[in-house]
Structure 1
């Protein structure tokens, strides 16, 4: 695992791909226990990285609400629907 890139250097897409690979390895049941524990720990960190990146993206796309005079009054979550 030491050869793996630092999690904080991964893009969302890279972290998600690695997380999917880890889940597949863990679900196979063929991974020795010590390796499975290490994979689980890295997977948990990757999950957190993906969650943090999604939260940051959501914050960036919040719409600013304006009052009748055009002054900002707050923010509203972006509605992707």
Structure 2
């Protein structure tokens, strides 16, 4: 099952990749911790969609709610610079 269309996978991928690098982990290590396929970790780092189970597992690993990566929430928090 695919995750909702309202999720911004580009931002999620950047968060996952940053946390992975700061923790000195490989993609396969993240996959093992989250109990998801390694391909899903690679896909989300590339900004591509993953299933709802993988989305939830990655958000749990990041200690962020899935709503944090919703497009509407990101738009509401964005600041306008002159």
Name whichever structure is richer in helix by fraction.
Answer: 2
Which bin holds the TM-score, normalised by the shorter protein?
under 0.3
TM-score, normalization by structure 1: 0.26
- For the pair shown, which has the larger CA radius of gyration, 1 or 2? 1
TM-score, normalization by structure 2: 0.26
Name whichever structure is richer in strand by fraction.
Answer: 1
Higher relative contact order (CA 8 A, sep 6+): 2
